[in-house]
Every structure is written in C-alpha cells, then in structure tokens.
Amino acid sequence: MDFFSDGLLKWQDIFRPLAAALGAKPHTLVRWFDTNTFFRAPEISGRVATLAHPDGVVPDGSVPRPRVTTLPSPYMFSRAAHTDQARNQLMVALAEQVLRPAADAAVAAGSQLIHLEDPWLGYSGIAREDWAPLGEALKILHRDLKAKLVFHVYFGDAGPHIDHLLKLPVDVVGIDLIETELNALGSGWDKGLVAGVINGRSSILESLENTVEVARHLADRVQPRDLYLSSNCELGYLPTGVAEQKLQRLGEAARRVRELVSV
Amino acid sequence: MTADLNHKALLTHEIGSLDKPGWRVKAYAGKPLGEADFEEARSWGERLTVPDYKKLLDLLHHAPFDKGQKAEIQRWSSLYALRLEESAGLDVVYDGEQQRTEMYDWAVNHTNGFERRGSVRAFDNKYYSKAAVVGPISLRSPFHNAEFAYLESVADAELKIPVTGAYTIADWSFDERYDVDTDLREPAPERRRKRKAARRDFVLEVARNLIRPNLEALIGLGARWIQVDEPGASTEADELDLFVDSFNASVEGLNAMFSTHLCFSDYNLFFPAIERMSQCRQYAVGFANYDSRELGTSDEARPGYQVIKKFRDLAYKPALGLGVLDIHSDFIESPELVRDRVLYAVKVFGDPGRIHVTPDCGLRTRSWKVAYEKLRNMTAGVELAREALRL
C-alpha cells in the first residue's frame, strides 16, 4: 500500500467518534444501506457545535505514513442524521463545524489524503438542487486544506453523476467500479481517480491480470490526474484474512501497473 | 396447509435469542468457572424456582467436563431460559438459543456446501461468523430436532421454534459458487443481471434443500408453531419478491403455523411483496427501536408504529407480533409505555385478536437481569391493556 490507515477499527460506525465528540447521542440502530451492518443515527438538534476535540478521528500513532483518513461526507452525514434541521443547511454546518476541524486534525497527524466516503449518493442518489449546497460544503473542506480531498461514491452506479462529480471542489473522485460501467467515466479528467477495483463485499479474490488490465484501461482512457487503486468500499464487510489477501493482490496489481506504465 | 392456532388476544411471546449464562459459555468452552458463575447459577435457579437446580451447581463444580456433561449443561441452560420466560409471564416460550451457537452459524455449520470465512462486524462492536457457499447445499441432518425434543419435554408453556430463513442465510453468506465472475471489463448491467440471477438460485436452493427438510423434520416431531426468522429480508430493496418466493418454497403445503420475524428495516419496503405470503400467519416485527418513549396512544405519540396499518390491511389477515421492547438498550420500558403501544396497535387494527406482543427482536445483547425486567414489564403492560380493553 502507498497510504495507510488504522482501518477505523476503534470506530463503532463512521459517525460515532464525531457524534461522541459533539455530545450527539447515538440512538436508533439503522441498516447501513444493503448490508448486514448497522449504524446508530446521530441525533442532531439545534445549532451544530464546533468540534473542539477531534482526537477520536486521528489515526493511531502506530499507523505508517503517509496516511489516509476517512470521514463521512457532509452529504451522507446530513442525510443519515436524525435532525430537525433543513438537510442542506445541516450539510454545510457539518462541513464547517465538524468535518473541517476533523480534517485539519488528521492532516496535522500526518494524513495526506482526506477520504470522504459517500455511499448515500451512490445508493440513494441526489436531487438536482442538492448539488450546489454539496459543492458549498466541499468548498469549506477543500479551501487551503494541506492534503488532497477525495469524494468517494460507492454502493451504486456513479455513471449518471459523473459530470456533476467532476465539477465538485475536490482533488480526487472515488468511483465504485463494481457498480459502475468503466466506459461511463469518460476521458480527460482534470481530477484524480480512486478506482474501486476490488470488491469489498465479496470473498472471491479478483484476478490479478484483470485488475491490471482495468487499471491500464483507466490510465489510458480516463487519464486522471492521479490514479489510486482501491477497494470499491470499506473492507469491514470482509473477515480480516480475506481483506488481507485482497490488499496483497491490490498491491501486486499496482506494482505491475507501475512497471507497465514505466515501460 | 398452514395452520392457525387460535391464540388468545394479546398473546405474549419472545422472539428468539437470550444471552447465554457465563457458566454455560465457560463450561462449554472448557474455561474455568469462578464463584461469580456458581452464584449466577444458584441465584437464578432459586429465583426462577428451577427444579433440582442444585444438581446443576454440583455438576458445575466437577470440571473438566466431558462431551456428555457439556450437553447436560446446555440443557440446564435451556431449562433456566424457559423458566425465565415462563416466570416473566410469557404465553409462548423458547429457550433463547441456549443450545445453538447463534442463529446463522448454527445453521450453516450443519449444512453441506458452506465453509467458514471468519468474523465480520454487524453493529457497534458485535461480530458474527460469516461463511461462504462453495458447493451444492443440503441438510447434513436436521439440526433443531434434539433441541425441540428436549424443550418439548420440559416446557410448561406453549413452544415456538425459531428457524433462520433462507433469504437471511443467503444474504449473510458470501457467494463463491453461483456468482464467481469478477471481470470488470464486462458491462456493468450484465454483471448486475448475472449477480441477481445468481442470488435467486442461491436463496431458493437454501429454501428447498435446507430450510424445508428441516421444517419437515420438526413438524414430524410435533412442532406446531415455527417462526421463520428473516432479519435480512429487506436488505436489498429489489429482492422482496425473492424473499417471499423463498418463504413460500420453504413452507408450502406443510402443516404447522408459520410466522416470520422481521426487524431493523424500512418495513414499507415489504409492501406489496408480502401480499403473496398468505401462509405466514403472524409477522413479528420490531417497532420500539423507532418509537418515542413518551406515553400516549395518538399517531403523534407513537411514531414508530405508523407502518402497522399496512400489516392490518393484508387481505389474508395475519396476526401482528408487535415489538414493544427496544432490545438494544437497557432502558426498561414501563408497563404503561407497553400498554400505550399495545392500545395504539389495537386501535389501528380494531381487533385485539390480531395483535400479539413481543420484544423487537431476540434479547441476547441484554443481561438476564435487564431481559427479565423488560419481559416482566411487557406482560404487566399487556395486563394493563387488557384491563383498558376489558378483555
């Protein structure tokens, strides 16, 4: 691997450390999209407080560098919360008061990638009028951030959203290629691409040759500014041993692609 | 044909699991037992007036245990669990999976065609052991028969046997048999089509080759009420028809009362698919997790129960097992809160005969102390509802 995280092993779900730091009570247990995992919806009422102690999101000291820190995207966070507020207002407030302090703390701790995960957009979609507030929220996170900002859509076909995604104020867009047609990505990107080429929900090991070919195709056709090979989603749905085998294979694929590209 | 058992109005029952006592877990795992374990066995034996519980205490002091003794300790655990539920006043009981490892693991470990792959997180810091289907599925041998035969011999109250359903078993497993193609160069719609076709084959093979023969074996032993547990049923919103097909394939033509348990889902998703599930005579559904803790019987006071109208309107008129206890919290619902949840449901249904009262789900994540208090308040709340309804 080229970037490292602690796998969020101490997080009971993607919102919990942030919700705990805010004093937001985790309450109702809700299914995490179409998986057999569940999260507790953060209860957010009234004005969103500023995240004063984002220690819970900082990677463990044992994590090698360079690091990647994963946070919930403001869109998903605002939609998953139980709240009495307008969702888009909440989205911007969460970006400003919660996610930006968390991202800054992660950068100070050595993270060079801030990875915003957004299965909500992939699974449930987004209304046309929500793209602008999402852009506003991401602008807050992107402005002067001393790391690359990734917006990763998964658990759904990102094809219909590509044009909008490429206009978002982020450095890198992540795509779930288990659900998205390769040809839907277009070409000539002016952003980086996190290519979700490993299926985080299947125990079947991907073919090394196929992964390498797909990566080459992406490099040649999509021509992203940077190409990151990754899983399509978090690996928490896999037993550790299976996840480890998949990561080994991903690393080997990346090594081979580098060799081929350098030739 | 599916049977109806003519239960009384506001029948109370559990859903499935209970926590396993420390003495049962340690004894089975070959770990040393301590004073706290002996005291747990003694105090609950005394409190629940478990017959001859001192024989268990004597047995627990004679570690290490051979295979026969471990099985005997498991049966004691079953007996304690039955007595806990009977003592709490439940009308229909089960032993809380004291003889099973867990609802999924137990099933796949007694089935040909699966291999274990390891543990994955379900929620909070709770994990479950996940397997992959790797070959043809068949029942190795009926895996609830010994449990049923024992429970039948010692239960005072009516028994209900939970069996993990086909859709859930498939959904909680990896698929290494039906859908093995990983080529991302293939068009995504084609990959999705193949994946869905593979899921259908997988789920229906579990229904026909695993669940159905297991149900037939239980019925042959005299089981009259079998609850098909399907907590995974609405995991994929476009597969509700498949869930219904799998239920029907599992139970069609068998002579027992079949119910199903659904939980932690958007229950709206089940409609209209379950209109075709007429052999299901009761839906036991978790609602309390979504509800307010305030008293009241208005729509506003009971936000967690709005969807029950849809169950009411099913043409084949199944009973509704109304989840009134949040099983993921130590909050003890008061009898008055249970009463109001029940009265609200009766008001919506207009027929208390179609309302049964249950926890949201199995209580295995709660201590016995908390589970017992919750269940006692549940039955006390039902009594308050009966008084209010003059039943």
Nearest to A182 by CA among A167, A195, A169: A195
Contact B264 A38 (CB under 8 A): yes
* CA B332/CA B280 separation, integer angstroms: 31
At residue B15, does pLDDT exceed 90? yes
Asked if A113 reaches chain B (Cβ–Cβ under 8 Å), the answer is no
* CA A125/CA A102 separation, integer angstroms: 26
State the pLDDT confidence band at B222, using cuts at 50, 70 and 90.
Answer: very high
- Structure-token match 């099913």, residue found: B314
Q: Who contacts B215 (Cβ-Cβ below 8 Å, separation ≥6)?
A: B163, B226, B250, B251, B254, B256
Query: Which residue, among B171, B184, B235, B292, would best test binding to A if mutated, counting the most A CBs under 10 Å from its CB?
Result: B184
Q: Collapse the DSSP code of B282 into the 3-class scheme (helix H, G, I; strand E, B; otherwise coil) and give the result.
A: strand
Pairing of strands A38-44, A26-31: antiparallel
The model's pLDDT over A181-221, given as tens digits with 9 standing for 90+, comes to: 999 999 999 999 999 999 999 999 999 999 999 999 999 99
pTM above 0.90, yes or no: yes
Q: Which domain holds residue A217?
A: 16-262
Whichever domain contains A165, its CATH number is 3.20.20.210
Mean of pLDDT values over B318-331: 96
Q: Which pLDDT belongs to residue B3? A: 65
* CA B337/CA B323 separation, integer angstroms: 12
Mean of pLDDT values over B133-149: 97
The model's pLDDT over A164-180, given as tens digits with 9 standing for 90+, comes to: 999 999 999 999 999 99
DSSP assignment, residue B232?
Answer: T
At residue A123, does pLDDT exceed 90? yes
Asked if B184 reaches chain A (Cβ–Cβ under 8 Å), the answer is yes
State the pLDDT confidence band at B380, using cuts at 50, 70 and 90.
Answer: very high
Question: A61: buried, middle or exposed (CB in 10 Å: 19+, 13-18, 0-12)?
Answer: exposed
At residue A119, does pLDDT exceed 90? yes
Output the CA torsion A157→A162→A168→A172 (10° steps): 80
In a domain, A100, yes or no: yes
Contact B118 A40 (CB under 8 A): no
At residue B362, does pLDDT exceed 60? yes
In a domain, A201, yes or no: yes
Q: Which pLDDT belongs to residue B171? A: 96
Mean of pLDDT values over B349-353: 96
The model's pLDDT over B176-214, given as tens digits with 9 standing for 90+, comes to: 999 888 899 999 999 999 999 999 999 999 999 999 999
* Average pLDDT across chain B, whole number: 96
Distance from CA of A147 to the nearest CA of B (A): 30
Contact B184 A182 (CB under 8 A): yes
In a domain, A7, yes or no: no
The model's pLDDT over A142-162, given as tens digits with 9 standing for 90+, comes to: 999 999 999 999 999 999 999
pLDDT above 70 covers what percent of chain A? 99
CA A87 to chain centre: 20
* Average pLDDT across chain A, whole number: 95
Structure tokens at B170: 């498939």
Which chain A positions have a beta carbon within 8 Å of B290's beta carbon?
A: 28
In a domain, A149, yes or no: yes
Number of domains within chain A: 1
Contact B184 A237 (CB under 8 A): no
At residue B2, does pLDDT exceed 70? no
Mean of pLDDT values over A100-117: 96
Query: For chain B, what percentages of helix, strand and coil (3-state, to nearest 5) are there?
Result: 45, 15, 35
Contact A31 B176 (CB under 8 A): no
Residue type, A155: F
What is the CB-side half-sphere exposure of residue A229 using CA atoms within 13 A? 28
Contact B117 A241 (CB under 8 A): yes
In a domain, A5, yes or no: no
Q: Collapse the DSSP code of A19 into the 3-class scheme (helix H, G, I; strand E, B; otherwise coil) and give the result.
A: helix
The model's pLDDT over A31-44, given as tens digits with 9 standing for 90+, comes to: 999 999 999 999 99
* CA B299/CA B321 separation, integer angstroms: 19
Q: Who contacts A120 (Cβ-Cβ below 8 Å, separation ≥6)?
A: A73, A75, A76, A79, A80
At residue A56, does pLDDT exceed 90? no
Q: Which pLDDT belongs to residue B109? A: 95
Interface A-B: count of C-beta contacts within 8 A: 92
In a domain, A1, yes or no: no
In a domain, A44, yes or no: yes
Q: Which pLDDT belongs to residue A263? A: 53
In a domain, A136, yes or no: yes
Find the farthest-apart pair of alpha carbons in chain B and give their distance in angstroms, rounded. Answer: 67
At residue A21, does pLDDT exceed 70? yes
Nearest to B169 by CA among B232, B263, B236: B232
> What is the ipTM score, two decimals?
0.93
Asked if A28 reaches chain B (Cβ–Cβ under 8 Å), the answer is yes
